[in-house]
């Protein structure tokens, strides 16, 4: 399992995954995402985005973190978060914000709740927009040096595997496309002579 920057070819999967998980990314750009992949199968397991808000005082937001159901509980999301924090640091941001009602998950990495009135103007306005969709959202702040990866999540990630192969999407057959292999067509390779 590893995490890499998203590529243009990942756009369809990202958009489908965002929709499936009910995440809204009103300003989608695949290059802002990272993706967790299984090294052996190449299966995509999770994703997340770092969003830079170019206001008078630019700030960085960790957003749209999601893990496919088959890969949950194995440290995939944690490693996506770690990669996003590293990207924020590479873009010279010492502080990363998050706006969510799922603050318990983020707390394990060092994110701390911040009262709305203690936020700079840009993050406060972003919190207001997020609350229009998620009324329970709070602001979280992480100082880059405070990030910590729980060892249990690091160990789970090393041996991560999908929950069960039986949950995978079924392989499509010719019948799924309305093609009956028994009926010959001019394109058939199974014509009997």
- Mean pLDDT, residues 145-163: 88
Q: φ and ψ at 16, to 5 degrees?
A: -65, -40
Give the pLDDT confidence score for residue 28 in this predicted structure. Answer: 81
* CA dist., res. 185 & res. 193, Å (int): 13
Least confident of 18-22, 95-99, 124-128: 18-22
Other CB atoms within 10 Å distance of the CB of residue 176: 9
Dump pLDDT digits (tens) for 32-68: 899 999 988 889 999 999 999 988 899 999 988 999 9
Q: φ and ψ at 141, to 5 degrees?
A: -135, 140
Strand segments, DSSP code E, in the chain are 2-5, 33-37, 44-53, 59-67, 95-100, 112-114, 138-143
Helix axes 76-90, 151-158, angle to 10 degrees: 110
From residue 16, alpha-carbon distances to 10, 174, 187 in Å are 10, 23, 33
Give the pLDDT confidence score for residue 25 in this predicted structure. Answer: 67
Other CB atoms within 10 Å distance of the CB of residue 131: 16
Dump pLDDT digits (tens) for 118-150: 999 999 999 999 999 889 999 999 998 889 888
* CA dist., res. 95 & res. 110, Å (int): 12
171: exposed, middle or buried (C-beta count within 10 Å: 0-12, 13-18, 19+)?
Answer: exposed
More confident residue, 190 or 150: 150
Dump pLDDT digits (tens) for 44-54: 999 999 999 98
Give the pLDDT confidence score for residue 184 in this predicted structure. Answer: 54
Dump pLDDT digits (tens) for 69-79: 989 998 999 99
- Going along the chain from its start, the domains and CATH numbers come out as 2-158 (3.40.630.30)
Residue 170, pLDDT > 90, answer no
């Amino acid at each position: 399992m590893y995490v890499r920057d998203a590529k243009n070819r990942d756009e369809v999967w990202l958009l489908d995954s965002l929709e499936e998980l009910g995440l809204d990314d009103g300003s989608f750009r695949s290059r802002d995402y990272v993706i967790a992949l299984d090294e052996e199968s190449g299966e995509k397991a999770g994703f997340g985005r770092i969003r830079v808000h170019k206001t008078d005082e630019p700030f960085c937001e960790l957003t749209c973190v999601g893990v496919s159901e088959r890969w949950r509980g194995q440290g995939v999301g944690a490693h996506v978060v770690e990669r996003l924090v590293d990207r924020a640091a590479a873009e010279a941001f010492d502080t990363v914000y998050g706006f969510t009602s799922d603050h318990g998950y983020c707390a394990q990495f060092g994110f701390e709740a911040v009262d709305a009135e203690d936020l700079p103007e840009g993050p406060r306005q972003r919190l207001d927009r997020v609350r229009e969709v998620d009324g329970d959202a709070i602001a979280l702040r992480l100082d880059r040096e405070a990030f910590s990866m729980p060892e249990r999540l690091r160990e789970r990630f090393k041996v991560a595997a999908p929950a069960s192969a039986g949950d995978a999407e079924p392989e499509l057959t010719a019948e799924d496309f309305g093609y009956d292999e028994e009926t010959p067509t001019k394109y058939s390779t199974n014509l009997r002579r």
